[in-house]
């Protein structure tokens, strides 16, 4: 776990789950049992990113057991992991776009053709493989330090960055 993941785990996720379940947060045996149920490991020290996602999903559900979305994520790890991967790719796209000065209008225009091909409303709805390709496309594009203007005409932004 990264330091920020470790902090989230021990300062928020585990205590919240214990509070909701009526457990003692200092009960190491129970903590190891929950970790094992979610990841197949008793210790959090050498978990993979996938295992961390599964553990965090389990703790989120334990902290809010009446939330069906959290219960679904815990009960369907393959779907939860796929959704987590999609979220990570979307984050990478948005981060790369922001670093290059591309705004949401630019991303929408850049994805317009593929949205029609895949019959989706937004690039965020692309199939995972296409989402990864779009991530590579945005990362490879030449950026600009100043933000792209909102108004776009004829496939060229006001600052002359072609789509």
| Residue ranges of domains in the chain | 3-75, 89-157
Tell me: pLDDT of 160 over 50: no
- Model confidence over 22-58: pLDDT tens digits? 999 999 999 999 999 999 998 898 899 999 999 999 9
In this prediction the pTM is 0.65
Residues with Cβ within 8 Å of 93's Cβ and at least 6 positions away in sequence, in order, are: 107, 123, 131, 134, 135, 138
C-alpha to C-alpha distance for 149 and 103, rounded to whole angstroms = 8
Give Cα separations from 71 to 35, 58, 79, 87, 111 (angstroms): 16, 8, 12, 19, 33
Using the 8-state DSSP alphabet, how is residue 148 labeled? P
The terminus-to-terminus CA distance of the chain in angstroms comes to 39
Instruction: Calculate mean pLDDT across residues 139-157.
Output: 56
């Amino acid at each position: 776990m990264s330091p920020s993941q470790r902090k989230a785990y021990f300062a928020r996720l585990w205590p919240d789950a214990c509070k909701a379940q009526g457990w003692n947060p200092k009960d190491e045996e129970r903590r190891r049992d929950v970790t094992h149920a979610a990841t197949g490991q008793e210790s959090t020290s050498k978990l993979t990113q996938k295992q961390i996602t599964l553990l965090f999903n389990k703790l989120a559900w334990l902290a809010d057991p009446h939330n069906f979305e959290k219960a679904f994520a815990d009960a369907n790890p393959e779907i939860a992991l796929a959704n987590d991967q999609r979220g990570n790719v979307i984050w990478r796209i948005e981060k790369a776009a922001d670093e290059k000065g591309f705004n949401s209008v630019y991303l929408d225009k850049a994805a317009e053709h593929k949205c029609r091909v895949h019959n989706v409303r937004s690039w965020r709805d692309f199939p995972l493989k296409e989402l990864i390709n779009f991530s590579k496309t945005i990362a490879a594009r030449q950026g600009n330090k100043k933000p792209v203007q909102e108004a776009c005409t004829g496939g060229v932004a006001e600052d002359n960055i072609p789509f």
